[in-house]
Structure 1
Amino acid sequence: MEVAAVRAALWAVSDKQAALVVTMTVQQGLSTADRIGEALLAVRRDKRRAFLHDVVLDMLGGARSLGELDFARACRRRGLPEPTRQAVRRGGDGRYYLDVWWEPWHLVVEIDGIHHAWVDNVVSDALRHNEVAISGDTVLRLPLLGLRVAEDAFFEQIERALADAGWRAAA
Structure 2
Amino acid sequence: MDERRRHSRDDRDRILGRIAATAARQGGVVSRSQAYAAGLTRGEVRAQLRARRWQRVWSRSLCLPTGAVSETGLQWAAVFEGGDHAMLDGESSLVASGLTGYETSVHRVSVPRGVTPLRGAGLDVRRTRRWSADDRTTSGVPRTRVPVAAVRAAMWARTDKQAALLLTMPVQQGLTTAEYLGRALLAVRRDRRRELMHAVVNDLLGGVRSLGELDVARECRRRGLPEPDRQVVRRGRDGRYYLDVCWDAFHLVVEVDGIHHSWATSVVPDALRQNEVVLGGSRVLRLPLLGLRVAADDFFDQVGRGLRSGGWQEAA
Specify the TM-score bucket, using the shorter chain as the normaliser: 0.5 to 0.7
Q: CA deviation at 1:166?
A: 1.2
Look up the match of 1:76: 221
* Structure holding more helix per residue: 1
Q: CA deviation at 1:92?
A: 1.3
TM, length-normalised to structure 1 = 0.62
Contact 2:243 2:255 in 1 (8 A): yes
Q: CA deviation at 1:149?
A: 1.1
Q: RMSD between aligned alpha carbons?
A: 2.2
Look up the match of 1:116: 261
Look up the match of 2:185: none
* Larger Cα-atom Rg: 2
TM, length-normalised to structure 2 = 0.34
Q: How does 1:17-56 map to 2 (within 5 A)?
A: none
Look up the match of 1:47: none
Q: CA deviation at 1:120?
A: 1.1
Q: CA deviation at 1:125?
A: 0.2
Whether 2:149 is the aligned partner of 1:149: answer no
Please list every run of 5 or more consecutive structure 2 residues that lacks an aligned counterpart in the other structure: 1-194, 200-205
Q: CA deviation at 1:64?
A: 5.0
Render the CA deviation track for 1:92-138: whole Å, top value 9, x for unaligned. 11110001110111000000000111211110000000010011000
Runs of 4+ in 1 over 2 A off after TM superposition: none
The whole-number CA distance in structure 1 between the counterparts of 2:309 and 2:217 is 21
3-state SS of 2:312 partner: coil
3-state SS of 1:70 partner: helix
Question: Which residue, 252, 267, 284 being the options, matches 1:107?
Answer: 252
Contact 2:243 2:253 in 1 (8 A): yes
Please list every run of 5 or more consecutive structure 1 residues that lacks an aligned counterpart in the other structure: 1-15, 21-26, 29-62
Whether 2:279 is the aligned partner of 1:126: answer no
Contact 2:209 2:258 in 1 (8 A): no
Q: Which has the higher contact order (CA 8 A, sep 6+)?
A: 1
